[in-house]
Amino acid sequence: MSHAQGSPHAAPRAATEAPPYDPYAPHDPYGTRYGPYEACPPPYAPYDAYEPFGQHRLPRQAPPAYAEPDALHGAAPYVPAPADPVPDPYGLPARNPYAVDIALPDPEPEDEPPTGGRAAARRAAAGERRKRSGSRERAREKPRERSPEPLRRLLPQALVVAFLAGGTSAFIASDKAVQLSVDGKPRTLHTFAGDVEELLADQGMTVGEHDIVAPGPHHDLASGDRVIVRYGRPVALTLDGERREVWTTARTVDGALRQLGVRAEGAYLSASRSAPIGRHGLDLDVRTERTVTFMADGRERTVRTNAATVREAVEAAGITLHGQDTTSVDPESFPREGQTISVMRITGGEEVREEPIDYATERREDPSLYKGTEVVAQHGEKGVERVTYALRTVNGVRQKPKKISSETVRQPRTQIVKVGTKARPTSVQGADGLNWSGLAQCEAGGRSHAVDPSGTYGGLYQFDVRTWHSLGGSGRPQDASAAEQTYRAKKLYVSRGASPWPVCGRKLHG
């Protein structure tokens, strides 16, 4: 039904009543026949109802049916626009904070919004208002004595609404929107936690001594704060041959190297720099680039290398080892920064030699011989040993041969010496009672080991070796005991008198 035709439920307007100001009606100084919000005549197309992005609204309602404008000169009365609903921060449906929830019968299902432009939308809204106006008329026709009952029902509901409104304000005031970043992955969440520790507990997160939390666990939270959590990761790091256990909060190998201060330019890495490090950790072998100097073939070569062994570094320097060639340090050792290593060119062979083996001497006691008497019962004989030596020449210099094997060709024979144990006689008939000590003092100064300057005579009584052996002595006289020398001297006196001692012989009777 168009506005020009009117409505059976509309109340008649007084002729003297000035039409109220309608903010939605455009000013029409010429009194055109088209009312406000009417569709323009052809050739203009109807204007569809406006619907903003992200918030669905029904088309703006037309004035109520009882206040329809006159077909020619009337204007629609002022109808205040409904208040916009208060947006809910938690995504709940928007509602009017001044509305009171009253139990009403279930409404009839609404029809789909009318189509056909703004005029059609206004007509549909006018019909809806007429229905509500008729419902109000019927409600006014009911007896007045029943009116207290709705008021009694409305009062508790109003109190509940007021309480919920106050609780909602406190609820909104305690809520905070914070950003939580865990290992570089941020997310925004709402929380009632008072500090960082409570926030982490609400999220079921546990941090250890190797983890980083910024700000600290006891930092108070405010809306808009940002909390960063970085979990620690164990790394079994072998750096230039030395193994150690370290912790890092970096999520990649490259980040861990920077965090640990490891110089990775030109280094060997067992894992790529972009490789991730999980919460369980990683085994990482790093060999930094080092400067090593080699002395080889009379030349000096300095190279930069990240080799794991000296042998690999030699090959990286373009030096080839042949045969027995080696280096001044263990080829399997780790090359250090600034180390100087000599390459030794080695040539060599083997040499076999026969060498003598000394015999042993065995001394056996013989009671048939006087004390101080020794007799060789079996002469010793040396053996023969065949020995193999390794010969080496290092950088042109012959080294000392090294014994590498040996073989006995002939065993040596042991020499056996008999040693007398029989006590010697101290008296000789015809010579006892003489001054033998005076003679010894005159000949040798009383020294049993005395030897004359020519080396011919020796002992207390200056025996020559020939005379000594003729008297039964062995070895040299100066090596025998003083008692034996005196005994042999007495025997010589009995056979020859004092003539063997032409100068000192008179001491025997002095």
Span 99-138, pLDDT tens digits = 334 333 344 333 433 344 444 454 565 566 566 655 555 5
d(CA 474, CA 32): 172
d(CA 328, CA 295): 10
CATH of residue 410: 2.20.230.10
Does residue 395 lie in a domain region? yes
Q: Which of 344, 368, 384 is the last residue of a domain?
A: 344
pLDDT at residue 167 tops 70: no
CATH of residue 465: 1.10.530.10
Span 427-457, pLDDT tens digits = 888 888 899 999 999 999 999 999 999 989 9
496 and 442 belong to one structural domain? yes
Q: Which of 14-23, 149-158, 343-352 has the lowest mean pLDDT?
A: 14-23
CB–CB of 235/281 below 8 Å? yes
439 and 492 belong to one structural domain? yes
Does residue 439 lie in a domain region? yes
CB–CB of 285/269 below 8 Å? yes
pLDDT at residue 49 tops 80: no
453 is in which domain, residue-wise? 431-509
Question: Strand (E) positions, 297-445?
Answer: 299-305, 326-327, 340-344, 346-357, 361-370, 374-378, 383-394, 397-398, 402-410, 415-422
CATH of residue 324: 3.10.20
Does residue 131 lie in a domain region? no
Q: What is the pLDDT of residue 153?
A: 55
Q: Kindly tell me the sign of the dihedral angle through the C-alpha atoms of 438, 444, 450, 451.
A: negative
Q: Kindly tell me the sign of the dihedral angle through the C-alpha atoms of 44, 48, 50, 51.
A: negative
Residues with Cβ within 8 Å of 83's Cβ and at least 6 positions away in sequence, in order, are 96, 98
When divided into structural domains, the chain yields a total of 6
Tokens of 125: 């809204």
Residues with Cβ within 8 Å of 365's Cβ and at least 6 positions away in sequence, in order, are 418, 419, 420, 421
pLDDT at residue 36 tops 80: no
Does residue 167 lie in a domain region? no
Does residue 119 lie in a domain region? no
Q: Which of 380, 395, 419 is the last residue of a domain?
A: 419
Q: Which of 419, 443, 469 is the last residue of a domain?
A: 419
271 and 246 belong to one structural domain? yes
Span 195-222, pLDDT tens digits = 999 999 999 998 889 999 999 889 999 9
Measured over all CA atoms, what is the biggest interatomic distance in the chain, rounded to whole angstroms?
199
Residues with Cβ within 8 Å of 69's Cβ and at least 6 positions away in sequence, in order, are 3, 19, 25, 35, 36, 63, 75, 76
400 and 362 belong to one structural domain? yes
Q: What is the pLDDT of residue 46?
A: 42
Does residue 154 lie in a domain region? no
